[in-house]
A and B are shown apart, each in its own frame.
Chain A
Amino acid sequence: MLKKITISNALTVILALCALFITGLIVQRIFSPPVNTAQIENSNIREIENWEELGIENLQTYSANAELNILKFYDYECPFCKQSQTYIDEVNKKYKGNVNFVYVHFPRLTHELAFNAAVASECARNQEVFEEYHALLFKNQENLDQVSFSRLAIQADVKNITEFNNCIDQEITRDIINQNIALANRLKVNVIPSYLINGILISGILTTEELEEYIFNE
């Protein structure tokens, strides 16, 4: 009998501890935003001081009308950047207008075609077909060394192929990419893809759900 009571008490204590633990988790979830939690737990997440002063409003795809601008640092030869684009596309579909992705070129040195691809994408942007061209570059990622940037431009429906071709070798276009690289270096981005969301720099792929988490935490 005594043994039965002892077991029962022990079970009650265990259950009470479990309840307490779960309650604690819930309380923590309510009062502590996931970004901060992640910041403590994950070294891939960093808070950037004075991020509002970086001049991101001048970046090529920044939108003043969007509720949230998410910066994505990437290049066109990085497979994870391609993979991450599928999640971005899903978020774009769901929250179009409210969430805007600002694409920041960060071609890695080991990706020898990435700089050229970035330049070509900026020339496509000059003619309002950046998104189409951006998608085509990722689609052709595996054979980027064989692809003709001009043919892609025609596929993307550029308005003036001569302007596109002229733009390619202009120093000004290279400078746009160099500005992007300078921003990434300033932020000490060392992984692509990386994201800057409201002053929080996150390294690595974010899935649709993770992106949504940051969006709703905004």
Chain B
Amino acid sequence: MKKFAVLLYLSFAHLFIQNPSINLVRDLTIGDGEINTDIYFSPWVQHLYVDDAGNIFVADRDQAKVFQFSKTGELVNETGRRGRGPGEFIGLTPNTWLSGDTLFTYDSDLFRITSFNITDNTVINTNVLDLKIDEDNIFYQPYRLFYNLQRKNIVFKLTSPYSGGTENIERFEKFIALDNNLEIINNNLLLLPADETYINDRGSSITVSGLLPFARKSKAVQGIGNYGNHLCYGWTEDISLECIDMYSGETLVSINLEYNNTPVTNQDLNNELSIFPESGNLNRSEIRQAIKHRTWPAFDWFVLDDVGNFWLAVNDVNREMYSLYKISYEGELLGVIPFPKSDQIHIIRDGFAYSISESEMGEKLILRYKITSN
């Protein structure tokens, strides 16, 4: 097996040689108590936003606040508090946007878009959604919001419930586009399959037990800067990505890279299954059966940077690290560098990569890397 792994590694080695000059050097950490001693981030911190001046915005559902940090990492503002009143949050979602001094937020529990003036934290506007998307008896809920700063339009990611019925329904993620007045302009911008889940359908009802190990997932991200109108998506089975315009739905770019999925070894399988309980509904042997003959997903996440390059966290034979592929807008592989699996990059702009990682205490950390290339 080791020999096979080496052979596989060698088959990809040319990628590493192709452009060894890209380098990521960490230059800022927020949330470890170094700069702001009493700031920590909960596991609900899953995304961040960076404005033109390099200010970093972090929305934390658990703390019901959007934190604003300066380019040097100092806390400069906190917006929102817990509650159901104006300017308050129950289910603050991780995605936020800044347009001038206006900060846009979305609460997926209160179905409410709130915009704030960040100079004095006053509420500019609160819009409660009245979206009833019910198709074929599947009721979709608005779960994530993407804001197109260029056209001032909104895209909602809606999800159908995993269960609750008496039969196993096929699940989707549906994207719809709304204009600035929250009128639907495209009811079917995008339809993606939902992440692969392990569903226990014994008995007379269905119970969702978790994501399948090595599950294939839908990944949809928004570009930034000049590419802020790009909604890009892919299915983690292979390296095929497509971007559409967030307003018109027009296809803007498609890229496709040849890739052979890395086989799952017994060791991989055991590592993955070790966190699941031995017994109960989430039964290890059943999961093992469900995922035998699996391969690793081609990638786990990707971003589109401010100059139109895609950066993909690819799973290959090195189990400890991702191979971070940098791919041009035209689909050319520009380079590959190793990247820690504990990190996920969310934004790349102005020569910096902004990622979310974890401290030893398990809390989220915001990391910034300076991207250098010769």
Question: Bound complex: CA of A13 vs CA of B211, how far in Å?
Answer: 74
Indicate if the CB atoms of B206 and A112 lie closer than 8 Å.
no
**Segment touching B, from A36-44, A134-142, A165-173, A209-217:** A165-173
Indicate if the CB atoms of A171 and B202 lie closer than 8 Å.
no
**B40 close to chain A: CB less than 8 A:** yes
Q: How many residues of B contact A (CB 8 A)?
A: 45
Indicate if the CB atoms of B208 and A172 lie closer than 8 Å.
yes
Question: Bound complex: CA of A179 vs CA of B332, how far in Å?
Answer: 45
Question: Bound complex: CA of A61 vs CA of B280, how far in Å?
Answer: 7
Indicate if the CB atoms of B361 and A175 lie closer than 8 Å.
no
Indicate if the CB atoms of A60 and B362 lie closer than 8 Å.
no
Given A58-B200, A151-B361, check contact A164 B159 (CB 8 Å).
no
A residues 94-135 in Cβ contact with B at 8 Å: 112-113, 115-116, 120, 123, 125-128
**B274 close to chain A: CB less than 8 A:** yes
Question: Bound complex: CA of A60 vs CA of B162, how far in Å?
Answer: 15
**Segment touching B, from A1-9, A152-160, A200-208:** A152-160
CB distance from A59 to the nearest CB of B (A): 7
Indicate if the CB atoms of A161 and B362 lie closer than 8 Å.
yes
Of the candidates B109, B195, B202, B363, which one forms a contact with A57 in the assembled complex, judged by CB atoms under 8 Å apart? B202
Given A148-B363, A182-B164, check contact A58 B210 (CB 8 Å).
no
Indicate if the CB atoms of A165 and B362 lie closer than 8 Å.
yes
A residues 168-202 in Cβ contact with B at 8 Å: 168-172, 175-176, 178-179, 182
**B263 close to chain A: CB less than 8 A:** no
Name the residue on A nearest B197 (C-beta). Answer: A172
Of the candidates A57, A116, A120, A154, which one forms a contact with B361 in the assembled complex, judged by CB atoms under 8 Å apart? A154
Q: How many residues of A contact B (CB 8 A)?
A: 46
Of the candidates A60, A62, A112, A148, which one forms a contact with B42 in the assembled complex, judged by CB atoms under 8 Å apart? A148
Given A116-B44, A178-B161, check contact A159 B274 (CB 8 Å).
yes
B143: A residues at CB distance < 8 A: 171
Indicate if the CB atoms of A62 and B281 lie closer than 8 Å.
yes
Indicate if the CB atoms of B276 and A126 lie closer than 8 Å.
yes
Indicate if the CB atoms of A145 and B82 lie closer than 8 Å.
yes
Name the residue on B nearest A57 (C-beta). Answer: B203
Name the residue on B nearest A166 (C-beta). Answer: B43
Question: Bound complex: CA of A123 vs CA of B273, how far in Å?
Answer: 15
Question: Bound complex: CA of A182 vs CA of B94, how far in Å?
Answer: 26
**A53 close to chain B: CB less than 8 A:** yes
Indicate if the CB atoms of A58 and B361 lie closer than 8 Å.
no
Give the secondary structure class of B's interface.
Answer: loop
**B216 close to chain A: CB less than 8 A:** no
CB distance from A98 to the nearest CB of B (A): 17
Name the residue on B nearest A176 (C-beta). Answer: B208
**A162 close to chain B: CB less than 8 A:** yes
B42: A residues at CB distance < 8 A: 148-150, 168
Indicate if the CB atoms of A153 and B82 lie closer than 8 Å.
no
B280: A residues at CB distance < 8 A: 60-61, 63
Question: Bound complex: CA of A163 vs CA of B163, how far in Å?
Answer: 22
CB distance from A18 to the nearest CB of B (A): 52
Name the residue on B nearest A151 (C-beta). Answer: B361
Name the residue on A nearest B195 (C-beta). Answer: A172
Can you identify 20 A-B contacts, CB atoms within 8 angstroms? A55-B203, A55-B206, A58-B203, A58-B206, A62-B281, A113-B82, A126-B276, A127-B275, A148-B40, A148-B362, A148-B363, A150-B42, A150-B364, A161-B358, A161-B362, A162-B358, A169-B44, A169-B61, A171-B143, A175-B208
Using a CB–CB distance below 8 Å, which chain A residues touch chain B?
A: 53-55, 57-63, 112-113, 115-116, 120, 123, 125-128, 145, 148-151, 153-154, 158-165, 167-172, 175-176, 178-179, 182
Using a CB–CB distance below 8 Å, which chain B residues touch chain A?
A: 40, 42-44, 46, 61-62, 82-83, 90-91, 94, 109, 143, 159, 161-164, 195, 197, 200, 202-208, 210-211, 274-278, 280-282, 342, 358, 361-364
Extra inter-chain contacts (8) besides given A54-B204, A126-B277, CB under 8 Å? A58-B202, A128-B275, A161-B362, A163-B275, A169-B43, A175-B161, A176-B207, A179-B164
